[in-house]
Chain A
């Protein structure tokens, strides 16, 4: 090919000739190409070279017979763990965080809301099993005085904001039950 990497001496674009051969497209200027020695010589060389690419592409590639079993062995382990922990993927392995730990984080986050005296959290595995999603049931004892609904909204908001950032878990459902009200003398 000549010093100008884009065109032949006759002005024909090399990219078009490559596309013509590789994509089996018709010539852009068949009248010129039929009588041009530059185009004809280049097309011959391109077709020779591309024949080997095509031959390689059509060769069958044997699949290792145990590959499916290896894949499914890993997937089944992950599926089992999805019922009691969340899975955070990493290029060099997996990180598992137990649902119990996520529950403790939720409990501590709920306790940061002024007016929350006591909190307990019970994570529930998502159905169908999901690597990151879970639901949670929260029980609260709150101080007498603040509006309960506003306090519960504050608990939901901070849990929605903080728990995914802290744990990677995605909470699809948060059920909150106010179990009791504590007064200053309790």
Chain B
């Protein structure tokens, strides 16, 4: 039954101290948070840590959450900030070889497609953190330019500039396949 309850109501319950309500929010939103962390950091272990830290920070900040904000944007903001801090604090990791071949393709195409997708993953891993975050939120999470700007706490023109530079860099990095 709790699965059908709106985020807004679960949030208010969580703010009242209802941990079951908070857990329902975790289950509902952790896939998106984990996906962003994995794309940003390129490591499953680091992505799990970043996801845990995101929800722990969210729980701590619950009393300050304003209900005129959107929960998903708020969570995206926390996880990207966490990932950018981690990226800034360490050397770039190798891109994650997480690409799975499309099982509908024959083996020859599967190997070729896997290599092309890995090239894209590597290209994204080489992007500066701010471009990487903007590109991932736009292209992989499907956020609008306004939503990306809100999540990254900057202007829409700035976000469009970052995304354009990121797109060009990814295209040029993978051009060897064409």
Interface string of B83-100 (1 = CB under 8 A from A): 001000000000000111
B31 touches A63 (CB 8 A): yes
From known contacts A64-B44, A68-B23, infer whether A56 and B121 are also in contact, taking CB-CB under 8 Å: yes
Question: In the bound complex, how far is the Cα of B57 from the Cα of A87, in angstroms?
Answer: 11
Interface residue? A165 (CB, 8 A): no
What's the minimum C-beta distance from A14 to chain B, rounded to whole angstroms? 8
Q: Is the CB of A129 within 8 A of B56?
A: no
How distant is the Cα of A18 from the Cα of B120 in the complex, in angstroms? 16
Q: Tell me whether A75 and B59 are in contact in the complex, defined as CB-CB below 8 angstroms, given that A52-B116, A56-B117, A128-B17 are known contacts.
A: yes
* Bound-complex Cα distance A64 to B16 (A): 29
Instruction: Tell yes or no: A72 within 8 A of B by CB.
Output: yes
Q: How large is the interface on B (under 10, 10 to 19, 20 to 34, 35 or more residues)?
A: 35 or more
A132 contact set on B, CB distance < 8 A: 63
> Is the pair A18, B56 in contact by a Cβ cutoff of 8 Å?
no
Contact of B170 among A53, A72, A74 (CB under 8 A): A53
Interface class of chain A by DSSP: helix
**Interface hits, A40-76 → B, CB 8 Å:** 45-46, 48-50, 52-57, 59, 61, 63-64, 67-68, 70-72, 74-76
Least CB distance, B62 to chain A, in whole angstroms: 9
Contacts of A129 in B (CB 8 A): 17
Decide yes or no whether A22 CB sits under 8 A from chain B. yes
Could you tell me if B55 and A52 are in contact, using CB atoms closer than 8 angstroms? no
For residue B27, CB closer than 8 A to chain A, the reply is: yes
CB within 8 A of B55: which of A1, A18, A71, A127?
A: A71
Asked if B30 and A67 sit within 8 Å, CB to CB, the answer is yes
A67 touches B164 (CB 8 A): no
When each residue 145-164 of chain B gets 1 if its CB lies under 8 Å from chain A and 0 otherwise, what string results? 00000000000000000001
Given A59-B99, A67-B34 in contact, is the A18-B19 Cβ separation under 8 Å?
no
* Cα separation A19 to B145 with both chains bound (whole Å): 12
* Complexed CA–CA distance, A78 and B17 (Å): 12
A52 near B164 (CB under 8 angstroms)?
A: no
Chain A CB within 8 A of B3 CB? no
Identity of the chain A residue whose Cβ is nearest the Cβ of B16 in the assembled complex: A128
Map CB proximity to B onto A63-96 as digits: 1 under 8 Å, 0 otherwise: 1100110111011101100000001010100000
> Are B168 and A72 closer than 8 Å at their CB atoms?
no
Q: B174: which A residues are within 8 A, CB to CB?
A: 49, 52
Q: Does B110 contact A (CB under 8 A)?
A: no
Contacts of A67 in B (CB 8 A): 30, 34, 48, 51-52
Known: A49-B171, A63-B34, A67-B34. A72 touches B26 (CB 8 A): yes
State the A residues within 8 Å of B (CB).
1, 5, 14-15, 18-19, 22, 45-46, 48-50, 52-57, 59, 61, 63-64, 67-68, 70-72, 74-76, 78-79, 87, 89, 91, 127-133
Listed by A's residue number, 13 A-B pairs whose Cβ atoms lie within 8 Å are: A1-B172, A18-B171, A49-B174, A49-B178, A55-B113, A59-B99, A61-B38, A68-B23, A71-B26, A74-B52, A89-B60, A91-B85, A128-B17
Instruction: Please give me the 7 A-B residue pairs with the lowest Cβ-Cβ distance, nearest first.
Output: A128-B17, A49-B171, A57-B140, A71-B55, A61-B35, A75-B59, A52-B116
